[in-house]
Structure 1
Amino acid sequence: MLQDRLYYQDAYIKTFTSRVVKESQDSDGNWYVVLENTAFYPTGGGQPHDTGTINGFEVLNVEEVDGEIRHTVAEKVNSTDDIEGLIDWSRRFDHMQQHTGQHVLTAAFVDLFGFQTESFHLGKELCTIDLAVENLTDQQLEAAEKLANEIILKNLPIETKWVTEDEIGQYSLRKELAVSDEIRLVIIPDFDYNGCGGTHPSTTGQVSGIKILSTEKQKRKVRVHFVCGGRILQQLHRKNAILTEASRQLSSPEDGINSAVEKLLTTNYSLEKSLKETSDVLLKYEAKELLAKKEDGMVKHVFIGRTLQEMQSLARIIVALDDYATALLVLESEDRLQYVAAKGAAVNTSMKSVSDTARSVINGKGGGKDNFVQGGGERTISGEELLKQMAESITV
């Protein structure tokens, strides 16, 4: 029976003895053992598995498969005597804090606003719940966090109880049960009644605290990111280190970082604007130089080490300066060719024919309108040869 498992009998168990009843390899060749009884919690219900050791061998994974709990181990245990299991307590207690914190936070959203939790994920650094609501206000988040921490500070008892399906009606459950036999309830009296198979501390005070970090919209629901217990300090240490380094780099006190960043962004915007204006002037000068070399109404050039955006800008400037000009530009790199073709207002030829030719010879993609096309593909020929064929597609 489920309730006979050691992690349900005592969530605080750290060491235990048992016997190996099966040792085998999974489909990937990993060794696993099945024990007579175990304190290792298998992945389930949003809670990750325990880790630790069995007879000194590292336990890498614990999962329930076909009714048996498989402990994936680093090496073959090969034992017929009693084995000793050692639970990684810091991981177990962290999971107990996070999972119980989720119960409390979820119940707070239900109690205050009637928002139901659709799913829960206990990650390595953060936890999330998905609420069945399209929008959450800052005020609602603050209220739920405040109530959750009040429940934690009251240090209320957390009870676990095995009940039958006939006994369920005696309890005001937060959500419908997913099982109909061996039902386990986790109860915070007068606050939360929930069917759950996870491990939990004996009182809410051991969760220590809950901090909501952020939210994100997920179609018709909102995902809430949060941490509990020891993870709050981890987040505080990490963010304090980031803040301290930012303060050092900006040569600003921590309470002046916002102003320093705003000043930096303003300066950066001015520099980018000035740089673009300078770049535009240089491109216009370059376009005039290229126009001076125009042959048969066409400006042709192969570039190396430029950007496609620069080439696009050059083509547009060229045809804006000369209504009778056609700009055929190719960008050549080690394994790729890109092209741009543009025509002035007085040119009748469509640039789509140029694009068709270019695409066909470089196995490429591209398109555009009659007056401007672009594309790219494989370097099946040289840039000069591509340019030649593009020009011939106009004169034919």
Structure 2
Amino acid sequence: MEFCVEDSTDVHVLIEDHRIVFSCKNADGVELYNEIEFYAKVNSKDSQDKRSSRSITCFVRKWKEKVAWPRLTKEDIKLLKKVSTKRPPPAMDDLDFTTTVVSCCPAELQTEGSNGKKEVLSGFQVVLEDTVLFPEGGGQPDDRGTINDISVLRVTRRGEQADHFTQTPLDPGSQVLVRVDWERRFDHMQQHSGQHLITAVADHLFKLKTTSWELGRFRSAIELDTPSMTAEQVAAIEQSVNEKIRDRLPVNVRELSLDDPEVEQVSGRGLPDDHAGPIRVVSIEGVDSNMCCGTHVSNLSDLQVIKILGTEKGKKNRTNLIFLAGNRVLKWMERSHGTEKALTALLKCGAEDHVEAVKKLQNSTKILQKNNLNLLRDLAVHIAHSLRNSPDWGGVVVLHRKEGDSEFMNIIANEIGSEETLLFLTVGDEKGAGLFLLAGPPASVETLGPRVAEVLEGKGAGKKGRFQGKATKMSRRMEAQALLQDYISTQSAKE
């Protein structure tokens, strides 16, 4: 809350943990002073709006009832609430916050469904007087939470305003309780503070500049302006950041005005075009100061540990440094240990022998695949000769096998080598997906190939008397066969 004092000079308001202290000088230059003690609990019968709308003297009276409060010592000092409807912003570590609904309008949200496909949800865009839910920005995803127990599915920034997407409307002007999903918030705090630390150390040790970063669902990536990194550089960065975590360095957040000279000395990648208000600076004591709008831990010890998983090739000849921080490291270790136990049971050997055991399996698999391929080729030749010498040869020749591939079908077609007969070959699950090949007179294949693909609900292409492709409905093979036989019958009748 903000206050002003009328008819006075040199006004000072000091807010401490247990009291507010007021001091000023009157028109005669006499220094005046008063203080108001805080009490532990706000009267639960008063709404947040009711409390914040009073002058400070009335407001603090309600912290404890039936207490005699001293009046100010001079009549010419009047504490008034500054003419403003906006309260100070909530602290980042507030998990519950009471505020007012400003507006609620119908809206749509594009999201990804459980099947990986994009879906459009109908709902409402809710604007609050203020919020504790962080909107997406600065490389950090948005918070999740509730407004009066209604789930907030997305929070986005629009200038100074945060838009909350819900699927239930809220009445403008109503008082609401906003709650933060703390597990998601703390995870983002750990990853974001971890990124600041890694960025600062990489710059300090090797002059590697961060160009961007991404806080992913399972892992995070820092894009560094270098084409490559050595294993020694990665190890040195990981060792240094974890030493600073063990040193329990404080992380401080402060605000600077746009015209503050210190702004020029603070690192950052610039401000959004629609930025308004003070600049937020996040500082790791003795390590780094950076402009940032995101949520952060208050001490590096809250990160617990950082694990750098390695590097990947990035865009524009840059390198992505992949890392985990805090609880994500513990979850990664749990998954890795579970995988190790499962492999130990499957491979019948200890973890130290897993790599060698897998190599042996790979070599055995290659030999088996080679032998299987040779057998399939021999089988294809045998089938081709059998079909060629069959008394039913002519018209349309059909063959389906569950096992096989494109090479298997092409060997059969090559061995038969006839342009007088339509050869329709299929491999795969009889009721599922598979492959098909149509061979025969070029003109006939060119006409029938696309039609066969359509019947099998697949796609294909062809040339020089062959058309092959993928089918999604092998169960319709008989329909395709009937199509071919009707075509042959029609052609025979014309002749």
Report TM bin, short chain.
0.7 to 0.9
Alignment-derived partner of residue 312 in structure 1: 410
1:116 aligns with 2:116: no
* 1:1-396 matches, cutoff 5 A: 4-6=88-90, 10-18=91-99, 20-28=100-108, 29-65=122-158, 67-73=160-166, 75-78=168-171, 82-163=175-256, 164-168=258-262, 171=265, 173=267, 175-178=269-272, 182-220=278-316, 221-293=318-390, 301-305=397-401, 307=404, 309=406, 310-319=408-417, 328-331=422-425, 338-341=436-439, 352-353=442-443, 355-359=445-449, 362=452, 365-368=460-463, 370=464, 373-375=466-468, 382-383=480-481, 386=484
C-alpha RMSD of the superposition: 3.8
The structure-2 alpha-carbon separation of the partners of 1:69 and 1:388, relative to structure 1 and needing over 3 Å to count, comes to closer
For 2:306 and 2:398, the matched residues in 1 are separated by: 61
**Contact 1:291/1:299 (<8 A) preserved:** no
Shift in alpha-carbon separation, 1:148–1:22, aligned structure 2, 3 A: same
Opposite residue 271 of structure 1, the aligned amino acid is L
Q: Following the alignment from structure 1 to structure 2, what is the Cα–Cα distance between the partners of residues 34 and 380?
A: 60
8 Å CA contact 1:97–1:228 kept in 2: the answer is yes
- Using the size of structure 2 for normalisation, the TM-score is 0.65
Q: Which has the higher contact order (CA 8 A, sep 6+)?
A: 1
Tell me the equivalent position of 1:346: none
- Summarize the Cα distance change of 1:82–1:292 in structure 2 as closer, same or farther, 3 Å threshold: closer
Query: Per the alignment, in what secondary structure is the counterpart of residue 30 of structure 1?
Result: strand
Three-state SS of the structure 2 residue aligned to 1:184 is strand
Judging changes above 3 Å, is the alpha-carbon distance between structure 1 residues 107 and 123 closer, same or farther for their aligned structure 2 residues?
same
Aligned partners of 1:302 and 1:237: how far apart in 2? 53
Amino acid in structure 1 at the alignment position of 2:411? S
Counterpart Cα distance in 2 of 1:274 and 1:119? 50
1:48/1:122 contact within 8 Å kept:
yes
- % identity of equivalent residues: 29
| Shift of residue 176, structure 1, vs aligned partner | 4.3
The SS at the match of 1:26 is strand
| 1:341-369 deviation per Cα after TM superposition (whole angstroms, max 9, x unaligned) | 37xxxxxxxx654543434755775334x
> For residues 232 and 310 of structure 2, what CA distance do their matches in structure 1 show?
13
User: Which amino acid in 2 is paired with 1:5?
Assistant: P
Q: Distance in 1 between matches of 2:479 and 2:349?
A: 55
Contact preservation (8 Å) 2:202, 2:209:
yes
Amino acid at match of 1:275: N
User: Do the aligned partners of 1:42 and 1:50 also contact (CA within 8 Å) in 2?
Assistant: yes
Residue 104 of structure 1 deviates from its aligned partner by 1.2
Who wins on radius of gyration, i.e. which is larger? 2
Could you list the per-position Cα deviations for residues 247-268 of structure 1 after superposition, in whole angstroms to 9, with x for gaps in the alignment?
1122222222112212222222
Residue pair 1:302, 1:387 contacting (<8 A) in 2 also: no
1:268 and 1:285, CA in 2 relative to 1: closer, same or farther beyond 3 A?
A: same
Greater shift in the superposed pair: 24-33 or 257-266: 24-33
For residues 17 and 149 of structure 1, do their structure 2 counterparts lie closer, same or farther at Cα, with a shift above 3 Å needed?
same
Q: Partners in 2 of 1:85 and 1:388 — Cα distance?
A: 70
The alpha carbon displacement at 1:236 in A equals: 0.7
Count of residues in Structure 1 that have an aligned counterpart in Structure 2? 375
Relative to structure 1, the CA distance from residue 177 to residue 21 in structure 2 (aligned partners, 3 Å threshold; closer, same or farther) is: closer
* Aligned CA distance change for structure 1 residues 214 and 374 (closer, same or farther; 3 Å): farther
Work out whether residues 336 and 379 of structure 1, in 8 Å CA contact, stay in contact via their aligned partners in 2. Answer: no
Unaligned 5+ segments in structure 2 are 1-83, 109-121
Structure 1 unaligned spans of 5+: 343-350
The 8 Å contact of residues 41 and 62 in structure 1, kept in 2 or not, is answered as yes
Q: Is this contact kept in 2: 1:302–1:384, CA < 8 A?
A: no
Conserved 8 A contact 1:148-1:210 = yes
Once residues 381 and 187 of structure 1 are traced to their aligned partners in structure 2, the CA distance between those partners, rounded to angstroms, is 71
Q: Report how far residue 244 of structure 1 moved.
A: 0.8
Secondary structure of 2:153 counterpart:
strand
